[in-house]
Every structure is written in structure tokens, then in C-alpha cells.
Amino acid sequence: MDLENQKRVLNISEEFGAENVVVLLGAAEAEAAGLAAETVTNGDPTWAGPLAGVQLGLTVYHICEDEIKSEVDAGVYDEQVGMMEMVMDVPAIHEEMENIRSQYCKYL
């Protein structure tokens, strides 16, 4: 997650309260999604950005997880995500997100 997005997440969580923020990711690989998820929950693991050492504990999901997919209009989902979902390792992404949520999320 780049420094600009880290700053945005920090500002939004301060403005609205971390308990009212859900972060939705769309990285194509489980490892990349996990790194971004860890950043918004446990802090920037690279210690390079605004979230270095900041444990927000935000709720985080990936767009291809059933909890989110079921909330999105099917036509919009297919148009925007459907093709990518066919090439993503959805079970690995889901497992990575579950691991991060169980370890670091405070507001489930």
C-alpha cells in the first residue's frame, strides 16, 4: 500500500472512527492483499509510511470474498471484477484475509 493511501486510511479512520471503517482490497495475489491488510490493521510492516507502528485494527476484506461479493450488484461485479476473479487464487486470498482478520482486526 503506497504512502498516499496509508495517509488516506489514517485520516478517514481518525475522522469517522476506526470502528466505522471497512477497507476493501482488490490485489490480484494473496501475498499482496495480505500485506495491504496487515498495513491497515497492524501497521506498516515496512516502517516506511504514515501507518508505521499504528495499529488501527480496521476491518478488512477483499472484493472477491463472499461476504463482499454478495453485497455487490451481480452485473456490476461481473463487469468490474469477474474476469480477474477467474485468474485469481480466491481460496488463497480468502485464507490470507481470514488470517489477518483473526490476528489484527478489532471491529468485526
Residue 92: pLDDT band (50, 70, 90) is very high
Tens of pLDDT, residue by residue over 4-59, are: 999 999 999 999 999 999 999 999 999 999 999 999 999 999 999 999 999 999 99
How far, in Å, CA of 70 to CA of 29, rounded? 21
How far, in Å, CA of 46 to CA of 71, rounded? 33
Q: What pTM was estimated for this model as a whole?
A: 0.93
- Which pLDDT does position 42 carry in this prediction? 97
- Looking at every residue in the chain, the average pLDDT score rounds to 96
- Which pLDDT does position 108 carry in this prediction? 85
